[in-house]
Amino acid sequence: MPVDWMILPLKRYADFSGRSRRTEFWMFYLFQIIVIVAVLSVAAIFAIIASARGSDSTQSIGVGIIIGSILFLIVLVALIIPQLAVLVRRLHDQDLSGWIALIAFVPLVGLVVLVMMFIEGTRGPNRYGEDPKAPAHSRVFS
C-alpha cells in the first residue's frame, strides 16, 4: 500500500543504518508535500475565519501567516530527522556513505543529492545490509 511506504520512515524515525528503496524515499517525500499543503490550507482557513468575523483583512491575513508559520515549523522540526534518516538509508542502498547527505544543505549543489535519489540501488547485499528489493525468504539474517 502506498500509505505504508509513506509512514515507514516515521516508524524508522532515527534509524540511519540499513537501506531504503526509492519507493520509500519518494513516497515519504510525497507525504511531506501533502502535510505541508494541509498546514498551509489550515492557515488559510484561519485567515478566512478571522476576516469573516469582521476584523481588519490585513490583520486576519497576518494571523493566518503567523499560525501557518508556527504549524509549518512544528511540521518541519517533526519531519527533519526521518527525512535525513531515509536520505542516508537511500544513499546506503547505492553503497555510498551517508555523509554525502550533508551536500544537500549546500544551495544548488544539493540538487546533486536529489538527482542521486533517482538512481537504482545496488543489487544484492552491500556493506550496509541486504537488498531491500530481495524477496524476504531469500534474505540471510544473521
pLDDT the model gives residue 68 = 76
State the cell numbers at 13. 524515525
pLDDT higher than threshold 80 for residue 19: yes
Q: Residue 41's closest CA among 72, 12, 18?
A: 72
pLDDT higher than threshold 90 for residue 84: yes
pLDDT higher than threshold 90 for residue 26: yes
pLDDT the model gives residue 4 = 83
pTM for this one?
Answer: 0.82
pLDDT higher than threshold 70 for residue 20: yes
- Across the range 23-48, mean pLDDT stands at 88
pLDDT the model gives residue 77 = 92
**Separation CA 86–CA 92 (nearest Å):** 10
Judge contact between 116 and 122, C-beta under 8 A.
no
The residues, any chain, with a CB within 8 Å of residue 119's CB and separated by 6 or more, are 94
- 100-142 pLDDT tens trace: 999 988 988 889 999 999 999 999 899 999 988 877 655 554 4
Residues 38, 107, 99, 95, CA torsion sign: positive
pLDDT higher than threshold 90 for residue 25: yes
